[in-house]
Amino acid sequence: MIVSLVDGRRIAVPLAWFPCLVDASREQLENWALLGDGEGIHWPELDEDISVTGLLRGEKAAG
């Protein structure tokens, strides 16, 4: 997964870090929204939230 930040940086992490996303369909992956002012990403159909801070820290999904 690659996330582009407004300051031009790009964060790339393995999708395998987020099992809920690995198992999702293309349609589910494409249905996302920003949280707040861009603090994170939310996939409503998957009930998955990933924070930008967590990505910067290299945090994998819990569980």
Domains delineated in the chain: 2-57 (3.30.2020.40)
Phi first, then psi: what are they for 20, rounded to 5°? -60, -35
**16-47 residue pLDDT tens:** 999 999 999 999 999 999 999 989 999 999 99
| Predicted local confidence at residue 63, as pLDDT | 61
Q: How confident is the model at residue 61 (pLDDT cuts 50, 70, 90)?
A: confident
How does 3-41 read in b/e, with b if 16+ C-beta sit within 10 Å? beeeeeeeeebeeebbeebeebeeebbeebeeeeeeebb
| Cβ neighbours, 10 Å, residue 57 | 8
Distance CA 24, CA 6 (A): 26
